Chains A and B, each alone.
Chain A
């Protein structure tokens, strides 16, 4: 399996622009997570899905952020409008449920490095 795939790997944009980050989870995984990593705050969970349904979005910073999972093999994280403080590395991860796998190992994608000028 190719692992979790994220695109783009790097994104540079100007303040006010819309940014869309994409994630393809590992085939068969039923959990998908979006994380943000900054120097100041470390890794933070933004939102996670189970079977394409958002379960917990309490980590989403504000209404400018939205996430969707239209099917089991694709998710997007959108920022509109973007601001310089959104500059961070955004990771997507996927996992199998404990019931299915007996463990909860999360497999991380390579991340998208976002810079908002």
Chain B
């Protein structure tokens, strides 16, 4: 079993729909990252979370440390949101500073 599991693997939506991508992890972490990879391949960091919730525009990320689960929500989805969304966790411990373990990614396609 992977340390970081994302669901769903593929997600298709119509423009305007509310989207949720889930991430579950099995290790103790100090932080969780959500990344976006554009169709051209570039990777952008969206959020870094250690507790609670963060919001940036139409994107909202939440984390529940006790349940080892995080969600990424997109409100009023748009075709330009089509990308691969990747969850990554940083394990606890000084030795693991900066070392991220990645989920397999969720491929999101938003149709007009």
Contacts and interface: CB of A to CB of B under 8 A. Distances in A.
Interface of A: 31, 33, 42-45, 48, 50, 55-56, 89, 91, 93, 95, 98, 103-108, 110-111, 113
Contact of A48 (B48, B98, B102, B103): B98
B96 to A, nearest CB: 8
Contact of A110 (B42, B86, B95, B97): B42
A36 to B, nearest CB: 11
The B interface is mostly helix, strand or loop, or mixed, namely: strand
The dominant DSSP class at the A interface is: strand
Bin the interface of chain B by size: 20 to 34
B7 interface: no
A33 B104 contact: no
Contact of B41 (A48, A56, A93, A111): A111
B41 A105 contact: no
Contacts of A55: 97-98
Most buried by B among A31, A107, A108: A108
Contacts of B48: 103-105
Interface string B16-51: 000000000000000101010000011111001000
B100 interface: yes
A111 B44 CA distance: 12
B42 A33 contact: no
Given A42-B103, A44-B102, A106 B45 contact: yes
Contacts of A113: 41
B77 to A, nearest CB: 23
Nearest to B42: A110
Q: Which residue, B31, B95, B100, has most C-beta atoms of chain A within 10 A?
A: B100
A31 B100 CA distance: 13
Nearest to B88: A43
A54 to B, nearest CB: 12
